[in-house]
Amino acid sequence: MAWSESDIPDLSDRTFVVTGANSGIGWEAARMFAARGARVVMACRTVSKGEEAAARIREHAPGARLEVMALDLADLDSVRAFAGGLASVHRQVHALVNNAGVMAIPYARTAQGFEMQLGTNHFGHFALTGLLLDALAPGARVVNVSSGVHRLGTFDWTDLNWERGYSEWPAYCRSKLANLFFTFELDRRLKAAGSTCLGVACHPGYAATNLQFVGPQQRESALGTFVMSAGNALFAQSAANGALPTVFATVSPTIHGSEYVGPRVFQAWGAPSVQATAPRAQDPAGWKKLWEASEKRTGVRFLPIT
């Protein structure tokens, strides 16, 4: 039988943090967790959007235990403030779902000067995870939302900020390969340190969300918006189905760390299953290089799992 929302176990003793929980995959995952009793911290860039999103969850699950907190992954000061605020209230986080992301946007930089897609999708989440390490409960999971386009990702270690030859899609693909490098190195280091916490990766296949529209909106491209709308209408699954791999990676007892979970029909649609990554994601030397670059750039060290 295909795994579905009805297979989510009781989560009433769990506290989950979901980044980008006001939209798309993050909102659907937060809704599903909350409906099964989890306390969900909705980490959102704009608090008013988060509150509105929480209200929409309460329409589905009136007793939902939701907290909206401000988090801008493109600013490490915001990441530090979020982590400090969260850790002072919740000492036992059972899952950190690193879901927020931007895709194929024009060149921009984060507050600390990182190229925006790698900065938001990877460096912000790397720093957040390191800062929340002490707040993770035994057996907690760090779930990183990657993408099938990691298959096209490459690293130029001499130019992580894309100062030469920036291109929107290759930068997105790199950021999604980075999500996998981070997951596998995190899980390896956790296990080596004797921790019971796990690093897990997932991807939603192709799901109709706001993700596809941010790039065209920033470029003011009506054609781009039209193409994305048509693509979503013709080929995408719902955001709710797209969230199932994330939810499975977070709650399934069959997960032991370092899996890559995605929809099983052509890795684009359908019920979640554990899948193979592209060979380029299985590169321990690359994992280590990205880890070291991430510590250096963010200033966040994952003591004691070095």
Q: Which stretch binds ligand NAP (CB under 6 A): 22-30, 129-137, 163-171, 216-224?
A: 22-30
Q: How far is CA 16 from CA 19, 45, 81, 97, 278, in A?
A: 10, 17, 18, 7, 29
Residue with smaller CB distance to ligand NAP, 123 or 291: 123
- Residue of the chain from 49, 80, 219, 288 that contacts ligand NAP (CB under 6 A): 49
Q: Is 277 in the site for ligand NAP (CB under 6 A)?
A: no
Residue with smaller CB distance to ligand NAP, 112 or 210: 210
Residue with smaller CB distance to ligand NAP, 20 or 199: 20
Give min distance, CB of 303 to ligand NAP, in A: 25
* Active-site residue (options: 107, 166, 172, 206): 172
Q: Which stretch binds ligand NAP (CB under 6 A): 67-75, 188-196, 277-285, 291-299?
A: 67-75
15 bridge partner residues: 39
CA–CA distance, 168 with 300 (Å, rounded to integer): 27
Report phi then psi at 40, rounded to 5: -120, 125
H helices present in 115-202, as ranges: 116-118, 125-132, 168-192
Residues 177-236 that bind ligand NAP (CB under 6 A): 203-204, 206-207, 209-211
Give min distance, CB of 189 to ligand NAP, in A: 22
**166 is known as an active-site residue:** no
> In this structure, is the dihedral angle defined by the CA atoms of residues 37, 38, 44 and 48, taken in order, positive or negative?
positive
Question: Taking the mean position of all CA atoms in its chain, how far away is CA 271?
Answer: 19
Residues 121-160 that bind ligand NAP (CB under 6 A): 145, 147
Q: Is 45 in the site for ligand NAP (CB under 6 A)?
A: yes
Count the alpha carbons within 13 Å of 213 in the hemisphere toward its beta carbon.
12
Q: Which of 44, 12, 263 is nearest to 147 (CA)?
A: 263
Q: Which stretch binds ligand NAP (CB under 6 A): 4-12, 17-25, 152-160, 221-229?
A: 17-25
CA 207, 204, 239 angle in degrees (round to 5)? 40
Count the alpha carbons within 13 Å of 130 in the hemisphere toward its beta carbon.
27
Residues 75-114 that bind ligand NAP (CB under 6 A): 99-103
Catalytic positions: 172
**Site for ligand NAP, rule CB under 6 A:** 19-20, 22-26, 45-46, 49, 71-74, 99-103, 120, 145, 147, 203-204, 206-207, 209-211, 242
